[in-house]
């Protein structure tokens, strides 16, 4: 997939921006300074391909629903698509026209394939930060190949550390070796402790009836105590209520008496007090406003009486203002007049000096002034004469230089026989491939010896080691998948053996624990078992049967038989009584015996399973060892042999490369027989003395010899051409000299005539004519300036006289004495007095306006007072004559306050009376004494506290009784132990599940990296090595794979001299180049198998110097035939280097 066009219609800070990508370009560079819109264009590509995010991040300039991006795409198979993208949840692909018809949601699928936004931005997007992070993570990883390839392919970093952290976290949960720091074993210990506590706290017989009787007694005592306490609380609450209500009733009575004293106001109309209060407040405000207005009127009249206006001066104010406006001009003229007079005198002096320079009288200057045509003609002839003189002098110097150069060339010309070396140079170039083969021969020998040494060392490092590689590869070797299958099978069998051994150990531990418990139980005293009771009863029944048989037979029972029967009956009863009295111990003992028997059977079954698993494991190990017998290798653990097989596979690839090098060396050695005869022919033809040098040295010497012959041959041909050209130039110079002499004769005739027109003598030189021209050229300007200054002086004197005349007239008419002041100061004084008079006039008008305004306010307030008085008369008409209305208002306010307090008191009484009537409470308070009540309250409080303490003691005893009963029923400790056991069991299950998840994740990650390495290591590493060599300018030639001390396959960088450098030995800049090479190699591999997406690169060369930038740009341009590369940058130097290195293949887009 390639972009041929990108339309950023409305997105971020960009509007209607079109970017065309040239189809034949090798590299597209989008250049723009900061804030030019590179970031918006970069972000637009992801949003275009995969849709806008939910947050409208790029809508700070345009509305979110108007955002639009478009593009033209071309796939590898030639298919094209033109579309637009809008912001939304569905139907966001549109046709690229004004109608914007919706396209199918899967229209981009043929171009994107299975790419997602995340994969595209990580794998096909690379900026400076990701390059630095990827390179740093690569250097920290130490070069482990699986991690490197997976990181370069996916854009993810730190995979090895992630896998190690998963393994470490899993080992922290569980490992084969028991440790108190591992969570699974801590949970297992909790489980065993809880199970033991559960067994130790089972139900016991004992004081159950006693506890029941004690509980019934305590409950009865608590019921009696609670009834007494209720009576005490009721009496206490009654006394406190009466004590609280007594002052409240007294307060109600006092407020009722006070209201009765204001009973004459009861007949007042509703709302009378509020209306009266408002009218009195309005009257007071109006009276205050009336006084303020009257005072303001009086102040305005006093201010008006102090103002005096000069009417005559006001009538002349216009003329005085105009005169004042001309004051600045008068001052400027008075200041400039001496200077202009001086300039006029200076121009008169300049005219006198010009007259002396021209040899004329001052009065004759204007009369004899030449015309402009005559002056221009003479000026042109002066320039022409100077030009002819310069040309003649230059021609003479050139002729002399050419004569000297021709003499030197003729003197230094080469003599002797020369040959053309071109045919021999072509013959030597035709031998280039064979000579290159000879040059590679020594390097191949060194590399072959090094690889042979490396192969022997690598074979010796294998575990188990391989003594002879050829014998090893001649025998059939098991495949990796077969070894992995045996490893998994043996691992499963080992796990089965461990599980069986653990189960057997668990049974042994339980049996030891039961045996110890039985010994402890029997140490207290002998325990009657069911078997003993059954044996005694069986003996007793046998004796009784024998006695019955004798009686049936009619024989008299023997005393000895009766005695034995008696003893048997007594023994059976004794054992039964002993078992009954120790029923708990007997039951426990019997239970332990049964468990012991069951566990013994289960242990025997577990032992059989263990032996069976061990035999299966031995068979599997023997079968695995048989795989390696044909190649003479003693097999180790399957995991170690899997790594050994991978190491052998690498040895196979190295051996294959060695064989290819040996073939290449033999082929290059044949080139020597082809090269020697041809070199000898060239040596004899060119006269080169080669001696007994090897072919490569002879070829190099011939190159230098032929280069020298070429220089001499070219120099001789060049010198002959230079001699002929020098003779041609001398002949041309002679012709030019004669032409210039003829032009000079014609010029002298014209120059003499032009000089006579300006009054110059016939022998006038160029310098004399030039001086006269300068003088006549200055004269018109000086005459014009002199006339200008003369007019200015006359005008200034006329304007100053007119100003002084107008000032004198106005001063006389105003009656002011201003003769002692200069004219401009007098005009300013008149203007200041006019301004003062105008200010007084404006002040008088303002005061008059203010006086009228306040007078109107006085009138309005007097009318308002009259209206308020009428309203008060109407308000008090129904209640008769009232002399003091404020006093009446005060009594009304007091009555309202008392009524509100009485209502509040009765509400408080209602809340505290708890539903009892006022008369009932007053009857109770008839004989109430507060002192006696306080004493009784104190006594009842102490009694209540005593009853509360007793109640607490009884409740504690009852709770303890219940706790003991619960302990006897199932035991609080047993309950806790069961809970703890279940909690530990659940925790162990959770930890086991977490351990399995971590182990599976670590193995999946390791498997993914290993699978990718096995699948892609060879082509990707080889191509990455080629790109790395190009990026480093040949300082490193390739990337190689080797095992480290822990037998882990690592990546190394090989210098041109053969030195191998581990990744941690690379500099940061070289590490950046290696990561870039790995990323590009992966993208090339991906593009070979899938529809390639464009590689978007954003300023990745910020830390590169110019040499590295040049190499990086060349490598990026070389990927053009596989995928499209678009580089964003703000650095002008990167653009200049790209122009130099890529040339016509560069597509430069400037934002």
What is the SS3 string spanning 468-519?
CHHHHHHCCCCCHHHHHHHHHHHHHHHHHHHHHHHHHHHHHHHHHHHHHHHH
- My answer on whether 609 and 523 are in the same domain is yes
Integer angstrom CA distances of residue 459 from 243, 456, 658, 1010: 110, 5, 15, 22
Q: Please indicate, yes or no, if residue 61 is contained in any of the structural domains.
A: no
Across the range 1031-1050, mean pLDDT stands at: 74
Whether the Cβ atoms of residue 884 and residue 285 lie closer than 8 Å to each other: no
Q: Among residues 724, 757, 790, which one ends one of the domains?
A: 757
What is the residue range of 666's domain?
Answer: 423-477+638-686
* One domain, residues 516 and 620: yes
Q: What is the pLDDT of residue 417?
A: 52
| pLDDT for residue 143 | 41
> Quick one: pLDDT at residue 784?
80
Higher pLDDT: 842 or 187? It is 842
Instruction: State which of 732, 757, 782 marks the end of a domain.
Output: 757
Q: What confidence score (pLDDT) does residue 594 get?
A: 80
Measured between alpha carbons, how far is residue 28 from residues 430, 1096, 1142 in Å?
Answer: 38, 10, 11
Tens-digit pLDDT profile for residues 1069-1125: 888 888 888 888 888 887 887 888 899 888 888 778 888 889 899 999 988 888 899
Handedness of CA 757, 761, 763, 768 (dihedral sign): negative
Between 349 and 1002, whose confidence is greater? 349
Pairing of strands 93-94, 80-86: antiparallel
Residue 562 lies in a domain: yes
Q: What is the pLDDT of residue 1044?
A: 59
**Pair (669, 537) in one structural domain:** no
Using a 10 angstrom Cβ sphere, with 0-12 exposed, 13-18 middle and 19 or more buried, the burial of residue 766 is: middle
Q: Which residues have CB under 8 Å from 553's CB, separation 6+?
A: none
Other beta carbons less than 10 A from residue 300's beta carbon: 20
Q: Is residue 677 part of a domain?
A: yes
In a domain, 974, yes or no: no
Antiparallel, parallel or unpaired: β 1095-1098 and 125-127: parallel
Looking at the fold, whether 492 and 569 belong to one and the same domain comes out as yes
Residue 1012's pLDDT is what?
Answer: 53
**Position 667 confidence tier, pLDDT thresholds 50, 70, 90:** confident
For residues 444 and 541, state if they share a domain. no
User: Do 594 and 465 sit in the same domain of this protein?
Assistant: no
| Residue 290 placed within a domain | no
Question: Comparing C-alpha atoms, which of 620, 602, 603 is closest to residue 494?
Answer: 620
In the predicted model, what is the mean pLDDT of residues 966-972?
Answer: 56
> Is there a single domain that holds both residue 493 and residue 506?
yes
CA distance 1012 to 1018: 11
Q: What is the pLDDT of residue 1054?
A: 87
Q: Is the pLDDT of residue 491 over 80?
A: yes
In this predicted structure, the answer to whether residue 234 has a pLDDT above a threshold of 60 is: yes
Give φ, ψ of 108 to 5 degrees.
Answer: -90, -5
Q: What tens digit of pLDDT does each residue of 85-129 get? A: 888 888 888 888 888 888 888 888 888 877 788 777 777 887 777
The owner of tokens 């899938």 is 1090
Q: What percent of the chain has pLDDT over 70?
A: 87
Give the single-character DSSP code of 62.
Answer: S
**What mean pLDDT is predicted for residues 607-624?**
88
Q: Quick one: pLDDT at residue 204?
A: 44
**pLDDT of residue 1043 exceeding 70:** no
Q: Which of 943, 969, 995 is the last residue of a domain?
A: 969
Lowest-confidence pick of 264-273, 318-327, 383-392, 772-781 = 264-273
Residue 74, strand partner residues: 2, 80
* Averaged pLDDT of the chain: 78
Considering the domain architecture, whether residues 567 and 513 belong to the same structural domain is answered as yes
> Count of domains in the chain?
4
CA 693 to chain centre: 66
Task: State yes or no: pLDDT of 203 exceeds 50.
Answer: no
Neighbours of 168 (CB within 10 A): 11
- Burial 391-406, CB ≥16 within 10 A → b, else e: bbeebeeebeebeeeb
Whether 60 and 1150 have beta carbons less than 8 Å apart is answered as: no
Q: Is the pLDDT of residue 139 over 50?
A: no
Confidence grade of residue 458 (pLDDT, cut at 50, 70, 90):
confident
Q: Can you tell me the distance from the alpha carbon of 659 to that of 662, in angstroms, rounded to the nearest whole number?
A: 5
Give the rounded distance of the alpha carbon of 1101 from its chain centre.
20
Least confidently predicted of 169-178, 638-647, 1041-1050, 1060-1069: 1041-1050
Q: How confident is the model at residue 689 (pLDDT cuts 50, 70, 90)?
A: confident
Residues 536 and 619 in one domain: yes
The verdict on residue 161 lying in a domain is no
Average pLDDT on 12-32 reads 87
Q: 462 and 586 share a domain? A: no
Give the span between the Cα atoms of 565 and 560, in whole angstroms: 9
- Given a cut of 50, is residue 151 above it in pLDDT? no
Q: What is the pLDDT of residue 969?
A: 56
DSSP state of 1057: T
Q: Is the pTM of this model over 0.85?
A: no
Contacts for 746 with CB less than 8 Å, ≥ 6 apart: none
CA distance 69 to 16: 9
- 434 in a domain, yes or no? yes
pLDDT at residue 205 greater than cutoff 60: no
pLDDT at 72: 92
Residue 229, in any domain of the structure: yes
**pLDDT of the residue at 1126:** 92
Task: Give the CA dihedral 740, 741, 747, 749, nearest 10 degrees.
Answer: -160
Specify whether 497 is located in the same domain as 438: no
Rounded distance between C-alpha atoms, residue 527 and residue 529, angstroms:
6
Residues 6+ apart with CB under 8 A from 672: 438, 695
pLDDT at 878 over 80: no
SS3 639: helix
From CA 459, how far away is CA 465, in angstroms rounded?
6
pLDDT confidence of residue 791: 85
Are the beta carbons of 950 and 181 closer than 8 angstroms? no
The tokens describing 511, both together, are 């049996």
* Same domain assignment for residues 486 and 613: yes
């Amino acid at each position: 997939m390639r972009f041929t066009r990108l339309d950023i219609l409305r997105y971020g800070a960009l509007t209607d921006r079109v970017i065309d990508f040239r189809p034949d370009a090798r590299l597209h560079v989008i250049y723009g300074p900061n804030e030019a819109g590179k970031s918006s264009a970069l972000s637009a590509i992801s949003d275009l391909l995969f849709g806008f995010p939910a947050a409208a991040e790029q809508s700070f300039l345009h509305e979110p629903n108007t955002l639009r991006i478009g593009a033209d795409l071309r796939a590898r198979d030639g298919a094209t698509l033109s579309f637009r993208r809008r912001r939304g949840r569905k139907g966001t692909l549109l046709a690229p026209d004004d109608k914007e018809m919706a396209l199918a949601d899967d229209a981009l699928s043929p171009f994107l394939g299975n790419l997602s936004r995340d994969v595209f931005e990580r794998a096909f997007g690379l900026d400076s930060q990701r390059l630095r992070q990827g390179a740093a993570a690569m250097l920290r990883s130490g070069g482990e190949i699986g991690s490197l390839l997976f990181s370069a392919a996916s854009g993810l970093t730190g995979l090895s550390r992630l896998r190690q952290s998963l393994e470490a976290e899993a080992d922290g949960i569980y490992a084969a070796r028991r440790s108190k720091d591992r969570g699974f074993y801590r949970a297992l210990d909790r489980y065993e402790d809880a199970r033991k506590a559960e067994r130790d706290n089972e139900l016991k017989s004992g004081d159950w009836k006693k506890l029941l009787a004690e509980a019934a007694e305590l409950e009865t005592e608590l019921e009696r105590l609670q009834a007494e306490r209720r009576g005490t609380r009721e009496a206490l609450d009654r006394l406190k209520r009466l004590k609280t209500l007594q002052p409240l009733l007294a307060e109600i009575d006092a407020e009722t008496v006070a209201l009765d004293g204001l009973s004459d106001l009861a007949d007042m109309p509703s709302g009378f007090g509020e209306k009266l209060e408002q009218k009195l407040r309005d009257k007071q405000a109006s009276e205050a406003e009336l006084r303020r207005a009257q005072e303001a009127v009086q102040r305005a009249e006093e201010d008006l009486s102090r103002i005096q206006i000069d009417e005559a001066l006001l009538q002349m104010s216009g003329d005085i203002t105009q005169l004042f406006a001309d004051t600045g001009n008068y001052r400027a003229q008075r200041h400039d007049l001496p200077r202009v007079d001086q300039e006029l005198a200076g121009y008169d002096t300049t005219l006198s000096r010009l007259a002396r320079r021209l040899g004329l009288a001052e009065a004759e200057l204007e009369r004899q002034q030449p015309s402009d045509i005559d002056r221009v003609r003479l000026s042109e002839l002066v320039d022409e004469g100077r030009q002819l003189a310069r040309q003649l002098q230059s021609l003479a110097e050139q002729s002399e230089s050419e004569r000297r150069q021709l003499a030197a060339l003729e003197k230094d010309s080469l003599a002797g026989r020369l040959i053309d070396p071109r045919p021999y140079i072509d013959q030597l170039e035709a031998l280039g491939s064979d000579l290159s083969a000879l040059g590679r021969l020594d390097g191949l020998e060194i590399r072959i010896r090094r690889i042979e040494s490396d192969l022997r060392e690598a074979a010796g490092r294998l575990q188990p080691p391989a003594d002879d590689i050829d014998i090893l590869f001649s025998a059939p070797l098991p495949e990796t998948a077969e070894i992995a299958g045996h490893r998994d099978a043996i691992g499963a069998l080992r796990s089965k053996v461990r599980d069986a051994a653990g189960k057997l150990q668990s049974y042994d531990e339980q049996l030891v624990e039961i045996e110890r418990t039985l010994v402890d139980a029997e140490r207290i005293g002998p325990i009657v078992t069911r078997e003993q009771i059954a044996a005694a009863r069986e003996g007793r029944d046998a004796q009784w049967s024998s006695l019955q048989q004798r009686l049936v037979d009619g024989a008299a029972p023997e005393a000895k038989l009766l005695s034995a029967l008696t003893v048997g009956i007594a023994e059976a009863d004794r054992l039964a009584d002993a078992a009954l009295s120790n029923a708990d111990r007997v039951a426990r003992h019997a239970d332990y015996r049964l468990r012991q028997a069951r566990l013994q059977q289960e242990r025997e079954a577990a032992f059989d399973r263990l032996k069976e698993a061990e035999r299966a494991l031995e068979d599997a190990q023997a079968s695995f060892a048989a795989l390696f017998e044909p190649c003479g290798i003693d097999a180790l653990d399957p995991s170690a042999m899997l790594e050994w097989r991978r190491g052998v596979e690498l040895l196979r690839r190295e051996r294959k490369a060695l064989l290819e090098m040996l073939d290449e060396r033999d082929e290059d050695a044949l080139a020597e027989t082809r090269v020697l005869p041809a070199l000898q022919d060239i040596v004899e033809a060119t006269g080169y003395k080669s001696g007994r040098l090897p072919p490569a040295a002879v070829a190099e010497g011939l190159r230098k010899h032929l280069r020298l012959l070429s220089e001499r041959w070219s120099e001789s041909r060049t010198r002959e051409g230079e001699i002929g050209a020098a003779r041609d130039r001398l002949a041309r110079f002679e012709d030019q000299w004669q032409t210039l002499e003829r032009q000079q004769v014609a010029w002298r005739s014209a120059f003499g005539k032009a000089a006579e027109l300006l009054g110059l003598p016939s022998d006038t030189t160029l310098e004399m004519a030039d001086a006269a021209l300068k003088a006549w050229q200055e004269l018109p300007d000086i005459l014009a300036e002199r006339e200008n200054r003369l007019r200015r002086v006359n005008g200034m004197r006329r304007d100053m006289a007119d100003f002084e005349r107008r000032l004198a007239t106005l001063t006389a008419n105003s009656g002011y004495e201003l003769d002692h002041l200069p004219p401009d100061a007098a005009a300013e004084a008149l203007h200041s007095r006019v301004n003062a008079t105008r200010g007084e006039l404006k002040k008088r008008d303002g005061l008059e306006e203010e006086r009228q305004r306040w007078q109107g306010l006085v009138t309005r307030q007097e009318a308002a007072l009259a209206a308020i008085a009428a309203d008060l008369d109407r308000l008090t008409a129904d209640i008769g004559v009232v002399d003091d209305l404020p006093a009446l208002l005060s009594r009304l306010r007091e009555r309202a306050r008392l009524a509100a307090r009485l209502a509040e008191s009765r509400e408080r009484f209602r809340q505290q009376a708890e539903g009892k009537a006022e008369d009932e409470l007053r009857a109770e308070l008839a004989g109430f004494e507060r002192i006696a009540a306080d004493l009784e309250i104190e006594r009842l409080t102490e009694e209540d506290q005593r009853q509360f303490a007793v109640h607490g003691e009884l409740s504690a005893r009852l709770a303890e009784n219940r706790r003991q009963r619960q302990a006897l029923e199932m035991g609080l400790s047993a309950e806790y132990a069961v809970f703890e056991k279940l909690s530990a069991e659940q925790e162990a299950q959770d930890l086991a599940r977490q351990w399995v998840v971590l182990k599976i994740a670590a193995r999946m990650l390791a498997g993914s990296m290993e699978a990718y390495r096995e699948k892609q290591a060879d082509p990707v590493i080889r191509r990455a090595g080629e790109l790395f060599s190009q990026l480093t300018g040949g300082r490193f030639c390739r990337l190689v794979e080797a095992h480290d001390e822990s037998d882990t396959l690592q990546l190394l960088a090989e210098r041109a001299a053969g030195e191998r450098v581990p990744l941690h030995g690379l500099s940061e800049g070289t590490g950046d180049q290696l990561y870039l090479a790995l990323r590009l190699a992966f993208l090339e591999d991906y593009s070979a198998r899938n529809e390639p997406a464009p590689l978007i690169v954003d300023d990745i060369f910020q830390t590169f110097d110019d040499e590295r930038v040049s190499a990086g740009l060349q490598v990026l341009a070389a990927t053009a035939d596989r995928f499209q590369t678009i580089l964003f940058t703000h650095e002008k130097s990167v653009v200049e280097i790209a122009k130099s290195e890529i040339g016509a293949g560069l597509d430069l887009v400037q934002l």
